[in-house]
Amino acid sequence: MSRKGKVLVAMSGGIDSTVTALMLNDQGYEVVGITMKTWDYATSGGGKKETGCCNIDSFNDARMAAVQHGFPHYILDIRDEFGDFVIENFVDEYLAGRTPNPCVMCNTHIKWRALLKRADALGCDYIATGHYANVHQHNNGRYYISKGVDETKDQSYVLWGLQQDLLSRTLLPLGTYHKTAIRQMALDYGYPELAKKSESYEICFVPDNDYRGFLKRRVEGLEEKVTGGVFVDKNGKVLGKHKGYPFYTIGQRKGLDITFGKPVYVTNIIPETNTVMLGEEDDLNRQEMLVSKINWIKYDGITDGMEALTKIRYKDKGALSTLHTHENGVLVQFSHYAKGIAPGQSAVFYEGDDVIGGGVIQRGQLA
């Protein structure tokens, strides 16, 4: 038995999770590798092969690394759990006129829970992943996420949903490293191909990046049901026909198939009437938003009016805001206008580099 403990490492076959496993192995942990199959892309009718974490080459790469370094490796099929929750939520959100964040939903409700369940079954003290973020324990006893040191790779935004029982047993070894250092480690471990491997940024079950095609394949007769809706301006004037409200997102400018001689953006989606509102860039500005399904991390709640830096999308730099308790969650008021607030996306609240908590955006509005 290792004095450091036994850790179950999620291994996708990519560079980050492989280096995570090898690093922990070198540090003296008793490592067990596990690769989760979340999705069978061949069943979705897409035009590309499986990519990223769900193809046989990735499974083999993960297993090979484990064998070469002398620790066990398992493959875990969670397609049913994943499909029932993540994919149904993805479809339902678009049909409700919102823009979902399936990676957050997967981390929060599927991957970490599946890992912890198997960790307990295998007698593991910890679970570990290759995310670029850090886990700390506050002097109040709570565990919390903070940003990874590599700002270009920081993934704290997608981990806001992790609850205390998960965080207390999570190791994130890459949070204190830059990506360049991880690539060098892969080379040093003797994996030059892994070091050169390109990264996938697509949603794992939509690897061709065509979410509209995915929705059409997933929901029988969708095009016929939603075709013939109208574009309107902020005064309600009809501007033209569109292809159906689920195929548009807040802030979208390209692919509208309508021209005005100037850039126009999707500013609102009204599913009840199959209406898509268009406007100029300034029409995307909002002073406040309502956020629900809150998960507090660093503290067990907030004081009304607490200041925080709020991120409304993954690559957002964040905006200064105040947080106010609300019967349906948290009312966020921005110091300056926030642009392109999209219901369904995650709002994550930061105190410096630390994640206070997060939730799902319900609506954005002018003050």
At residue 191, the pLDDT reads 92
Q: Where are the alpha helices (DSSP H) in the chain?
A: 15-26, 56-68, 79-82, 88-95, 102-106, 112-121, 164-167, 179-188, 192-196, 211-218, 222-226
CB count within 10 Å of CB 7 equals: 27
Determine whether the annotation assigns residue 14 to a binding site: yes
At residue 43, the pLDDT reads 57
Q: Would you say residue 138 has pLDDT above 90?
A: yes
What are the boundaries of each domain within the chain? 6-130+173-196, 226-279, 285-361
Determine whether the annotation assigns residue 23 to a binding site: no
Q: Would you say residue 300 has pLDDT above 90?
A: yes
Strands, E, within the chain: which ranges? Answer: 6-10, 30-37, 73-77, 126-128, 133-137, 143-147, 170-171, 230-232, 238-241, 265-270, 275-279, 285-296, 306-311, 319-326, 329-339, 346-351, 354-365
Determine whether the annotation assigns residue 130 to a binding site: yes
Handedness of CA 171, 123, 78, 89 (dihedral sign): negative
The fold of 285-361 is Elongation Factor Tu (Ef-tu); domain 3 (2.40.30)
Indicate the pairing of strand 30-37 with strand 6-10: parallel
Strands of 30-37's sheet in order across: 73-77, 30-37, 6-10, 126-128, 170-171
At residue 366, the pLDDT reads 56
Q: Which residues contact 109 (CB under 8 A, 6 or more apart)?
A: 85, 86, 161
At residue 182, the pLDDT reads 97
What type of residue is 270?
A: I
Q: Which residues contact 204 (CB under 8 A, 6 or more apart)?
A: 38, 39, 51, 52, 53, 54
Over residues 202-215, mean pLDDT: 84
Over residues 45-68, mean pLDDT: 71
What CATH number was assigned to the domain covering residues 226-279? 2.30.30.280
Catalytic position from the list 53, 54, 103, 106: 106
How much is the pTM? 0.92
Cα(343)–Cα(360) distance, rounded to whole angstroms?
7
At residue 206, the pLDDT reads 84
Cα(69)–Cα(27) distance, rounded to whole angstroms?
13
Q: Mark whether 204 is an active-site residue.
A: yes
Q: Could you report the per-residue pLDDT of 160-180, keeping only the tens digit for each?
A: 999 999 999 999 999 999 999
CATH C-level class of 6-130+173-196: alpha beta
- Burial 258-272, CB ≥16 within 10 A → b, else e: eeeeeebbbbbbebe
Q: Which residues contact 133 (CB under 8 A, 6 or more apart)?
A: 145, 146, 147, 148, 154, 155, 156, 159, 172, 175
Q: Would you say residue 132 has pLDDT above 90?
A: yes
- What is the pLDDT of the chain when averaged over all its residues? 91
At residue 261, the pLDDT reads 85
Joined together, the tokens standing for residue 36 give 């989760």
Determine whether the annotation assigns residue 105 to a binding site: no
Determine whether the annotation assigns residue 65 to a binding site: no
Contact 89, 83 (CB under 8 A): no
How much of the chain exceeds pLDDT 90, in percent? 76
Joined together, the tokens standing for residue 12 give 């996708």
Determine whether the annotation assigns residue 292 to a binding site: no
Joined together, the tokens standing for residue 250 give 């807040």
Tokens 């629900």 -> residue: 292
Catalytic position from the list 53, 54, 103, 204: 204
Cα(14)–Cα(119) distance, rounded to whole angstroms?
21
Q: Would you say residue 265 has pLDDT above 70?
A: yes
Question: 3: closest CA among 170, 125, 167?
Answer: 125
Q: Would you say residue 53 has pLDDT above 70?
A: no
